[in-house]
Amino acid sequence: MAAPICRSRLSNITIFSKFIRNGNDSKPIRHSFNKTFCRAYNQTRNTGLSWRNIRIGASIGLLSSVFAGKMMKDALATTELRPASRTEKGIIDIGDQNITLYQFQSCPYCCKVRATLDFFGFPYSVVEVNSITKSQLNFSDYKKVPVLVVDGKQGDTDFSLQFCDSSLIMSALASYVFDQNTPLNKLQACYPGIKEQKGRKTVWEFPNKYFIMYGDNIADNRSEKERSEERKWRKWVDEVLMHTISPNVYRTPRESLEAFHHFSDWGEWEKNFSTPTRLFVVYAGAVAMYFIGRIVKKRHNIKDNSRESLYEACDTWMEAVGSGLFFHGDKPGLVDLSVYGALHSFQGCQAFKDLMQCHKVKDWYERTEEQIDTHQGAMLLGKKPAHHP
């Protein structure tokens, strides 16, 4: 019974064909999907099916979703090649350069990059990437987000740069801040990407991604020990804290679906994507991430009560911060921005509400948010930060 339940209830591909025929009235479809999703979960729980059977059924359902996505892709791709979703003005002058961030709004790695751009006050544009077609990334060999593109001119020569991987992007931006005599087009050469084909999977490695590159004019007065500690904790964010997120945000089918509805609103998917695509991402994504969350939970030894692992990771972080305001003093550094970005990615979800209600990380989080929102890092670029009421 597991396979038919998941195939007919979770994917419910016929709803999409009915929707496409009937136009853009999405409310009945959304209501139908909500009922279908929750009814499928209750049926699997009440019938006592083994998780093995549920996984098999979900896999079949998700495979059906993939085929549906491929059929929709050609029809929708032309409508998804959109201009920037929004533009952040920032408060600093970066000369004849334009920065564009290709992202998913709720992706924790993208949130890390946005926190860095906002903290330093960089002006930039945002392009929300369609997670099904990824047509906005057709120009790049790197098919993950975030991707930061810098278009500019040096003398009479135009240039267009790509920076991939969130930690690499943060390091490159910080390198530019600490040594403004070295332009971004020269810094790019310090961060080579190594592309390797492993079977059908393309794997990228960026060996220098945690290193800030210095020229002759170093504006960073920290010791090498402090810089090494920063690299260690940035790696901890990527390898420990990040893995506690999906088992918590997508802990149950209901929380997973609620999270995707929130992400749709937060990322303005209704404005950026066609309605069939948006609905497909919300409902297929909620199903997929619920099961992916369970896989991540097992792979990274997350506790049965996943909240405990999230709270313990935050305990570890607060011990590292100690009695100071931030990790290295009175201003956030790249580690603070990384942790903030990871937590900010699920702001508005039940997991975030639970965390803020019962953990002391809340005070640090709010201090960091204020520093980011008022662009306090812009002082390092010679610009007086904005002070908002």
Residue 134 belongs to domain with CATH number: 3.40.30.10
Residue 35: predicted pLDDT: 57
Residue 181: predicted pLDDT: 79
Residue 380: predicted pLDDT: 77
**Is residue 384 a part of any domain in this protein?**
no
Residue 17: predicted pLDDT: 37
Task: Give yes or no: residues 208 and 241 share one domain.
Answer: no
Can you give the three-state secondary structure of 87-108, one letter per residue? EECCCCCCCCEEEEEEECCCCH
Task: Give yes or no: residues 174 and 284 share one domain.
Answer: no
**Is residue 330 a part of any domain in this protein?**
yes
Distance between CA 301 and CA 331 in Å, rounded? 33
The more confident residue out of 221 and 12 is 221
pLDDT-based confidence at residue 77 (cuts at 50, 70, 90):
very low
**Is residue 381 a part of any domain in this protein?**
no
**Is residue 386 a part of any domain in this protein?**
no
Distance between CA 13 and CA 47 in Å, rounded? 24
Could you tell me which residues come within 8 angstroms of residue 334 by beta carbon, excluding any fewer than 6 positions away?
Answer: 116, 170, 171, 174, 212, 230, 234
Can you give the three-state secondary structure of 103-136, one letter per residue? ECCCCHHHHHHHHHHHHHCCCEEEEECCCCCCHH
Task: Give yes or no: residues 243 and 351 share one domain.
Answer: yes
Residue 335: predicted pLDDT: 98
What is the pTM assigned to this prediction?
A: 0.82
Can you tell me which residue has the tokens 């149950």?
A: 252
Q: What is the mean pLDDT of the chain?
A: 82
* pLDDT tens digit sequence for 155-169: 788 889 999 999 999
- The domain total for the chain is 3
* pLDDT tens digit sequence for 114-157: 999 999 999 999 999 988 788 899 999 999 999 999 998 877 88
**Is residue 3 a part of any domain in this protein?**
yes
Task: Give yes or no: residues 232 and 338 share one domain.
Answer: yes
Pairs from 2-6 (Cβ < 8 Å, separation ≥ 24): 2/44, 2/49, 2/53, 2/54, 2/56, 2/57, 3/53, 3/56, 3/57, 3/60, 4/57, 5/40, 5/43, 5/44, 5/57, 6/40, 6/44, 6/54, 6/57, 6/58, 6/60, 6/61
The more confident residue out of 41 and 345 is 345
Task: Give yes or no: residues 282 and 234 share one domain.
Answer: yes
Average pLDDT (277-284) is 92
pLDDT-based confidence at residue 353 (cuts at 50, 70, 90):
very high
* pLDDT tens digit sequence for 219-234: 677 888 999 999 999 9
Residue 26: predicted pLDDT: 52
Task: Give yes or no: residues 118 and 234 share one domain.
Answer: no
Could you say which DSSP state residue 329 is in?
B
Residue 221: predicted pLDDT: 78
Q: For the chain, give me the number of helices (H) and strands (E)?
A: 16, 7
Percent of the chain residues past pLDDT 70, beyond the cut: 76
Residue 180: predicted pLDDT: 79
Tokens found for residue 325: 């305001």
Task: Give yes or no: residues 241 and 316 share one domain.
Answer: yes
CB atoms within 10 A of CB 24: 10
Residue 349: predicted pLDDT: 98
Query: Which range marks the domain in which residue 66 is found?
Result: 1-80
